[in-house]
Amino acid sequence: MNILVVLEDNQGSLHRLSREAVAGAQKLGGSVTALAIGKNAGSLASELSSYELEEILTVEHDLLSSYSADGYSEVVTQVIQSKSPKTIVVGHTYQTRDFMPRVSAKLDIPFIPDIISLSDEGFVKQVLNAKLNASVSSESDQMILSFQSAAFNDEEMITGSSTITTFDVELDVSSVRSTSEEPFQEAAGDVDLENAELLVSVGRGIEKEENVHLAFDLAEVIGAEVSASRPVVDSGWVDSFRQVGSSGHNVAPKLYFSLGVSGAIQHVVGMKGSKNIIAINKDPEAPIFELSDYAIVGDVLEIVPKLIEALKN
Amino acid sequence: MKIAVLVKQVPGSESVLPINEGQSWINEDPVTFVMNPPDNFALEEALLIKERKGEGEVVVVSMGPNRVQKVIREGLAKGGDRGIHIEEDEPIETDPLLIAKRFAAVLKDENFDLVLTGLQSDDTGMGQTGVLLGEILGMPTATLAIETDIQGESIRLKRELESGWFQWVQFPLPASVSIQSGLNTPRYPSLKGIMGAKKKEIKTVLGSELDASSRSQSIDKVFVSQTSKQTEVIDGDVDVAVQRIAEILRSEIKVV
């Protein structure tokens, strides 16, 4: 085995980023083995049965009925020790961030996270608040990689065949120190961002809570919903169910009109599939402009009131 | 209750970021440095935990060249009890495993009950130091905590999952926890705090003497990303820009 892809269970089905991780692993070249962990391991494995994989390993155990960093890192460590893959690949998700560093430290294998693309020089990730890119390389024989959302396209997964094999792990009660309660959702609100045709999205450039109405006013004029970036939600200016990005919703509207959103990667992963992107930002270097169709360099507080007037006439 | 908070000094979000001559990182000279914003939430959480317990010690730990003493001092001004500076020759160390090993070497004899870190750093954004450190020190770990509750010899915390989901987990202390940004409102230092901080101890240790492991990964080159998208840039007079946006909405995207 050259590459091991560790899959993630997203409420019974394969996490989208796990599919993209398989596509990325196949692109790296060599034989690819996938690993499914937990009570849904069998169904996760069967979702991949028609793709070109050397093997799909499934691990089930009483102590793995719910996710824990201790349990999952121990399983992945045992699989790596047994199969000696050169490269271990995962999607860059909240769950892999939670347990893969433990594997890295247990086995002394570097973990290069949040990769957005491959280049001749190494693995590319964003640094310095997405203002610059960096190429990163491993100086070890083995390495762990996590791929950011949309680094690879899951439609490019190579089809073929694979076999599903059970892998036995040794786990005892003392190796899982945490107890987890059932996951829950908080007030979801009655806004369906993910199916909205048009979105006006508000970011830190709105400056003050008193200015947030500008986004709602503009949205009303063009018939859009209002979404927001994380800093605005964290400040309590906009409800959390309106948040777009890795800790909020994934959206792909016909128009994404952003007002003072800088475009940090955590936000961008949730909206880069939008058909048309208009962005207003004071900073000509704002990363949001890189993926915008229309980049307006200017002050939201000056432009938006005039735009509302112009659209009303 | 003995708590270590790991804080990093990073370029401020408004700072200029010129790429250095060798393209290996940025030229630091014109850069303005700040406390990594996610670490500020971890520091605040440590101070709140100590205040709720009514006893304890908060130790502010940072790694880097001499300039990072400024963020340690800032942590002490806000209420930290003492500081530890792991001194490095390099302007920035980019290998998380090496960083964690050096932190672990300093922290292991201190017997902390809790190690808190921010979600990730605004400079390299590797997002793994706290978990690596927890594993090396044999502690349970959790990331993205948005609420913490110390219950005797264990900690119960609310973790953020993806897409608006949350989960409570509990494990025994000592533990290493990374804090999600936004869970509290970081305080500003008081004048009394700033004056008091000058008298607080900052112990300096040399990173290279703590752990001599070789680097396991490195940032080789930084560069400005090349966009493939055709972007129309609208810059200049506000009224002209407004007319152009109205036209785009009406005639090109046709949403009005």
Tell me: the pLDDT tens digits for A203-226?
999 999 999 999 999 999 999 999
**Spatial CB neighbours of B155, under 8 Å, sequence gap ≥ 6:** B114, B148, B149, B170, B171, B173, B175, B177
Range B141-159 burial, b when 16+ CB lie within 10 A, else e: bbbbbbebebeeebbebbb
Range B54-63 average pLDDT: 98
Q: Which residue has the tokens 């608040």?
A: A129
Nearest to A104 among B97, B124, B171 (CB): B97
Question: Average pLDDT of A105-132?
Answer: 92
Closest to A241 (Cβ–Cβ): which among B123, B161, B164?
B164
- Taking a C-beta distance cutoff of 8 angstroms, is the pair A152, A42 a contact? no
Closest by Cβ to B253, choosing from A234, A255, A302: A255
User: Which residues of B are less than 8 Å from A233 in CB distance?
Assistant: 182
Maximal CA-CA distance, chain B:
68
Residue B133: is its pLDDT beyond 70? yes
CATH class of A3-175: alpha beta
pLDDT of residue A264 exceeding 90: no
Which pLDDT score is estimated for B168? 97
Q: What is the mean pLDDT of residues B232-240?
A: 92
Range A73-80 average pLDDT? 98
Q: Which residues are CB-contacts of B192 (< 8 A; sequence separation ≥ 6)?
A: none
Q: In degrees, to the nearest 5, what angle opens at C-alpha A199 toward C-alphas A197 and A201?
A: 165
Of A110, A106, A46, A56, nearest in space to A78 by CA: A106
Q: Is the pLDDT of residue A16 over 70?
A: yes
For residue B152, the one-letter residue type is G
CA distance A192 to A174: 44
CA pair distance B249, B232, nearest whole angstrom:
14
The answer to whether A234 contacts B17, with C-beta atoms less than 8 Å apart, is no
| Residue burial A42-58, b: 16+ Cβ < 10 Å; e: rest | eebbebbeebebbbbbb
- pLDDT value at position B76? 98
Q: Is B214 on the interface with A (CB under 8 A)?
A: yes
> Distance (Å, rounded) from C-alpha B60 to C-alpha B131?
18
The C-alpha atoms of residue A7 and residue A15 are separated, in whole angstroms, by: 7
Which chain A residue's Cα is nearest to B133?
A105
Supply the pLDDT for residue B121: 96
CB atoms B140 and A70 under 8 Å: yes
Chain B contact for A112, CB < 8 A?
A: yes
Could you tell me if A173 lies within 8 Å of chain B, comparing CB atoms? no
Q: Range(s) for CATH 3.40.50.1220 in chain A?
A: 193-312
Within 13 Å of residue B243, how many CA atoms lie on the same side as its CB? Answer: 4
CB burial of B90-110 (b: ≥16 within 10 Å; e: otherwise) equals eebbbbbbbbbbbbbbbbeee
- pLDDT per position as a tens digit, B14-49: 899 999 999 999 999 999 999 999 999 999 999 999
Q: Is the peptide bond before A305 cis (omega within 30 degrees of 0)?
A: no
State the average pLDDT over residues B49-71: 97
- What are the percentages of helix, strand and coil residues in chain B, rounded to 5? 30, 30, 40
Nearest of A210, A202, A207, A263 to residue A233 by alpha carbon? A202
Return the residue in B233, B242, B251, B252 with the most chain A beta carbons within 10 A, the one to mutate for interface testing.
Answer: B242
Contact yes or no for B242 and A177 at CB 8 A: no
- Cβ atoms A263, A269 nearer than 8 A: no
| CATH 2.40.160.40 corresponds to the domain A193-312 | no
Please tell me the predicted confidence (pLDDT) of residue B91: 85
Average pLDDT over residues A20-41: 96
Confidence at residue A77, expressed as pLDDT on a 0 to 100 scale: 98
Q: How far is it, in rounded angstroms, from Cα A74 to Cα A90?
A: 16
Phi, psi of A293 (to 5 degrees): -80, -35
Helix, strand, or coil (residue B168): strand
pLDDT in tens, B160-182: 988 778 999 999 999 999 999 88
B91 touches chain A (CB under 8 A): no
pLDDT at B227 > cutoff 70: no
Cα–Cα nearest to B225, from A281, A125, A224: A125
CB-CB neighbours of B167 under 10 Å: 18
**Of chain A residues 253-282, which have a CB less than 8 A from chain B?**
254-255, 276, 278
**d(Cα B201, Cα B178) in Å, to the nearest integer?**
25
Percent of chain A at pLDDT exceeding 90: 79
> Sheet containing A111-119: which strands, arranged edge to edge?
A164-166, A55-59, A32-37, A3-6, A87-91, A143-147, A111-119, A122-127, A132-138, B217-223
Residue of B nearest to A15 (CA): B162
Q: At B228, is the pLDDT very low, low, confident or very high (cuts 50, 70, 90)?
A: low
Q: Cα–Cα distances in Å, from A19 out to A33, A151, A166?
A: 13, 11, 20
Kindly list the residues from chain B whose CB atom is less than 8 angstroms away from the CB atom of residue A251.
none
Q: pLDDT tens digits for A265-299?
A: 889 888 988 889 999 999 998 999 989 999 999 99
B36 CB near a chain A CB, below 8 Å?
no
Q: State residue A188's pLDDT score.
A: 64
Q: How far apart are CA A106 and CA A81, in angstroms?
A: 11
Question: Nearest-CA neighbor of B57 among B29, B25, B80?
Answer: B80
Number of CB pairs < 8 Å for A and B? 248
Residues A153-203 pLDDT 10s: 888 999 999 999 999 999 999 999 999 999 988 766 777 888 788 999 999
For chain B, what is the mean pLDDT? Answer: 94
Identify which has the larger pLDDT, A1 or A144: A144
Q: Right CATH number for B2-210 from 3.90.25.10, 3.40.50.620, 2.130.10.10, 3.40.190.10?
A: 3.40.50.620
* pLDDT at res. B82: 98
Residues B81-108 have pLDDT tens digits of 999 999 998 888 999 999 999 999 999 9
According to DSSP, the residues that pair with B172 across neighbouring strands are B154
Which ranges in chain A are annotated with CATH 3.40.50.620?
A: 3-175
| Count of CB atoms situated within 10 Å of the CB of B56 | 18
Q: Are strands B165-172 and B114-118 parallel, antiparallel or unpaired?
A: unpaired
Find the CB nearest A97 among B19, B143, B217: B143
A94-107 vs A69-83: helix axis angle to the nearest 10?
50
Beta-carbon separation of B231 and A295 below 8 A: yes
